[in-house]
């Protein structure tokens, strides 16, 4: 430092010149310390030499630095504890964590990440390599969306369903310094979701679609039929004298008949047809691309299949059928009321028959 060779001189202080050199030295050192403390240098016009010596600025700043260092030591200690705490959470966490630098090179990963994605390889074989090179999961994303400053995606890996949350870590200038990839195994959640959806759309007794499911599929098919001018027909069937089965043979036998009917019909319909339990002893079938006559023939075929089937514990069972074709611009309510009217007609005309509307 420039002031260093003058130190010899200033220790002597036997002349006015030496004293002035010493003062200069003190000012330089005080300025250096003040700059470190984040303030302005001293200005000679504000503080004359006598006041400067009396004030003892070096003593003051030295005392303050002692406190700065003590504070720094305490802060470092807290930082070390916080880092250890994070490391403990990092390693014991149920999720996988991978940290990459701004160049997408892996900086760190926890034990769970090694286990899930790197076949328990040593972390040292992963660290320093590009993430895309060591982990191909991100090439097969099923969904991806930006939520705030996080990107949330899902993918399947080794038959497990994962969610990955990618967060950017910013530096003090708000530039991306690192990225943290947080992976959660959401397989169980996905299975539960599927079960719940299945439960909400299935008739619990017969296992076929329920009214809710039928409604949503029919609405979509009506749109499609309208847009592409395709025929779309619906038939409703109702088991004849079902109340008598329940009353004389009991509800268990009645339930068995419903289940057997569902199996029987399921075996006859086409893959693209939608078959649902409408409620009670009523069933409904939608046949895309089938017109009224096609549906009538299909209903006739079903009617005869039911009639000739021997139901367990009951024997012969018959059904009445109402058939209608969807008319463009017709509301779902009007369409259903026509199907219902045709079924009512079949009942009124002696049952075990097909009527059209």
Partner 1 sequence: MAEPTYIRLDIHGQVCPSCLLLTLKALNQHCGAIRAGQVEIVVMTDDRQSTSTIPGAVSKMGYQAEVAILEGGYRIRIYGR
Closest to partner 1 by CB, 67 vs 175, is 67
Q: Does 41 bind partner 1 (CB under 8 A)?
A: yes
Among the residue ranges 56-64, 113-121, 151-159, 187-195, the one whose residues contact partner 1 (CB under 8 A): 56-64
CB of residue 65 to partner 1, shortest distance in Å:
9
Residues 57, 254, 288, 322: which binds partner 1 (CB under 8 A)? 57
| Residue 281 designated active-site | yes
Q: Does 174 bind partner 1 (CB under 8 A)?
A: no
Residues 16-35, interacting with partner 1 (CB under 8 A)? 34
> Active-site residue among 260, 281, 325, 355?
281
Residues 123-152, interacting with partner 1 (CB under 8 A)? none
Closest to partner 1 by CB, 46 vs 139, is 46
Cα–Cα distances in angstroms (integers) from residue 88 to residues 94, 185, 287, in the given order: 12, 20, 60
Residues 22, 61, 286, 343: which binds partner 1 (CB under 8 A)? 61
Q: Does 70 bind partner 1 (CB under 8 A)?
A: yes
CA distance 132 to 151: 17
Q: Does 188 bind partner 1 (CB under 8 A)?
A: no
Let me know how long the chain is. Answer: 357
Residues 38, 267, 328, 350: which binds partner 1 (CB under 8 A)? 38
Closest to partner 1 by CB, 58 vs 334, is 58
Cα–Cα distances in angstroms (integers) from residue 19 to residues 60, 117, 219, 268, 330, in the given order: 21, 72, 99, 114, 107
- Binding footprint of partner 1 on the chain (CB under 8 A): 34, 37-42, 46-47, 55, 57, 60-61, 63-64, 67-68, 70-71, 74-75
- What are the residue numbers of the active site? 281
């Amino acid at each position: 430092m420039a002031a260093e060779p003058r130190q010899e001189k200033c220790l002597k202080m036997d002349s006015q010149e030496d004293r002035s050199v010493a003062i200069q030295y003190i000012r330089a050192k005080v300025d250096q310390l003040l700059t470190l403390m984040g303030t302005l240098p001293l200005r000679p016009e504000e503080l004359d030499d006598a006041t400067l010596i009396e004030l003892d600025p070096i003593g003051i700043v030295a005392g303050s630095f002692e406190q700065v260092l003590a504070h720094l030591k305490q802060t470092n200690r807290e930082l070390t504890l916080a880092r250890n705490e994070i490391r403990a959470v990092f390693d014991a966490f149920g999720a996988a964590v991978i940290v990459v630098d701004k160049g997408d090179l892996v900086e760190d990963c926890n034990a769970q990440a090694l286990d899930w994605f790197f076949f328990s390889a040593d972390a040292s074989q992963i660290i320093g390599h590009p993430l895309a090179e060591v982990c191909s999961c991100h090439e097969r994303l099923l969904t991806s969306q930006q939520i705030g400053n996080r990107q949330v995606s899902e993918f399947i890996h080794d038959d497990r369903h994962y969610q990955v949350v990618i967060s950017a870590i910013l530096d003090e200038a708000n530039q991306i310094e690192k990225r943290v990839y947080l992976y959660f195994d959401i397989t169980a959640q996905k299975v539960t979701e599927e079960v719940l959806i299945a439960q909400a759309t299935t008739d619990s007794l017969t296992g076929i679609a329920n009214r809710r499911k039928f409604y949503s599929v029919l609405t979509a098919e009506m749109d499609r039929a309208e847009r592409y001018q395709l025929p779309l027909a619906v038939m409703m069937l109702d088991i004849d004298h079902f109340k008598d089965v329940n009353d004389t043979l009991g509800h268990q036998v009645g339930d068995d008949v419903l289940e057997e009917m569902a199996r029987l019909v399921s075996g006859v319909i086409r893959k693209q047809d939608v078959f649902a339990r409408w409620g009670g002893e009523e069933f409904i079938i939608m046949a895309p691309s089938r017109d009224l006559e096609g549906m009538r023939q299909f209903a006739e075929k079903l009617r005869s299949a039911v009639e000739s089937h021997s139901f367990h514990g009951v024997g012969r069972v018959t059904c009445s059928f109402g058939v209608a074709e969807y008319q463009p611009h017709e509301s779902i309510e009007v369409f259903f009321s026509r199907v219902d009217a045709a079924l009512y007609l079949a009942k009124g005309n002696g049952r075990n028959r097909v009527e059209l509307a």
